[in-house]
Amino acid sequence: MKNYRLSSGTKEHYTSLADLREAWGMKPIVKKTSDKEKLAKQQEKFVSKHICRACGQPMTFIHGNVMACKNLKCKGIEIKREDKEGNVITSYINSCEILNEKGAEIANNIFN
C-alpha cells in the first residue's frame, strides 16, 4: 500500500486488490486446483511439452523458471569438437530449459 494524502473523511486508500484482501484479513488467491486428478493431468501435460534433447525423457521442474533432466542414465547433450592435432574430443553438457514468464508462473502454480 502506498502512502497517499487522504481527504478528511477517508481512512485508507488501496492501490491493488491484493492489498485490499490483505488488509481485510482474507486468504490470498490460490491458483492451484484442489482436485488431485486434475492436478496430476495438468502436471503430466506440462511435463510432456518439455523433453530432454539427449535421452528423450520428460524434464522435471527444479525451481523458479528452470526445467532439467533428472534421468540418472542421461549423460547430457553430446558435443564433439576437434583439437589442434585433429583428435575428436567428446564432451557433454546438462540438458536444461529456461521457461518464459508465463511458463514459470504455470509451473510454480501446479508444482508448488
pLDDT tens for 13-28 read 777 888 888 888 888 8
Average pLDDT, the chain: 88
Quick one: how far is CA 4 from the chain centroid?
35
Q: Quote the CA–CA distance of 29 and 20 in Å, as a whole number.
A: 12
Strand runs labelled E in 1-112: 60-63, 66-68, 77-82, 88-93, 96-98
Q: What is the pTM of this model?
A: 0.68
Give the chain's residues under pLDDT 50: none
Instruction: Return the domain boundaries, the chain.
Output: 1-30, 35-111
